[in-house]
Amino acid sequence: MTENLSKQTNQSWQHVKSRFKRTSLGRPVFPRASTMPEWEHVEEHSHAWGQLTYINNGVMTIFTPQGTFVIPPQQALWIPPNVAHETYCRYGGHFRSVYIDQKYESLLGSTAKSLVVSDLLKAMILEICTWPEDYPLDDKTQRFIDVFVDRLEVAPTSDFFIPSAQDPRLHPIVSELYANPGSALTLEQWGQQVGASSRTLNRLFHKNFAMGFSQWKQKLRALRAVEMLNAGQSQQIIAQQLGFESSSAFNSAFKKVFGVPPKQYCKLS
């Protein structure tokens, strides 16, 4: 996947292993604050505890066995204990995550999910990330943690997620479009390459992704647009790279997915 994500540029990903080396948390929640440089790829790993992954500027792309999550600043990703994941941070950012004891899995769920981060939840994440690793676990702190877990439990989920394709006939299509979302190949042309009719491929997209090829491609391009908007790229450049005929066409497609045009979306970030 690394090769596909960097195919459009001459830049290479910097592959690193997880820097978190603890074997136990020692606390119900554990703060993790760091800065991720541009083009960093944290290789696949897992933890015996849960993880709320958050970046308060920039965008992360996280691959799990379930599929691909794109996490902008107004989202966070809940990763349950022992779920393998790898992280790509194309444009860098301030990583502010919270590791969470496995006893809370029954409340937060056993599958990865993208959560909407309210102003209150954001403030709580940033507050926890100011705590020292050996913070005192008194009654007041435990009450804060209990409320934090409560807010995670009721946080709405978002659709910044594309599940993994299970059918091998979809793999070359998905792989290429991740690398080159502006590709103009039609489903008929893809069918010639993978040996299936366009009708069969569209049926497989519905089966794997609960949407047809055109909708899936539109969603993928919208998620890539979020990455590029957060990197400060102009709408004109984004439209060109994602294969839109004009900035206005890009604005219309973006609004269909997110309900607001790109400029307004950036103000909400």
Question: Do 265 and 229 form a contact (C-beta atoms < 8 A)?
Answer: yes
Segment holding 180, helix H or strand E? none
Choose between 93 and 131: higher pLDDT: 131
| Exposed / middle / buried, residue 69 (Cβ in 10 Å: 0-12, 13-18, 19+) | buried
Predicted pLDDT at 2: 45
115, two tokens: 């959560």
Residue 1 has pLDDT above 60, yes or no: no
155 confidence band (pLDDT: 50, 70, 90): very high
- Cα separation, 6 vs 101, whole angstroms: 35
Predicted pLDDT at 268: 60
248, two tokens: 């206005």
Question: Do 216 and 209 form a contact (C-beta atoms < 8 A)?
Answer: yes
Predicted pLDDT at 255: 86
Q: Please report, as a single letter, which amino acid is at residue 62.
A: I
Question: Do 12 and 66 form a contact (C-beta atoms < 8 A)?
Answer: no
55, two tokens: 């970046």
Residue 4 has pLDDT above 70, yes or no: no
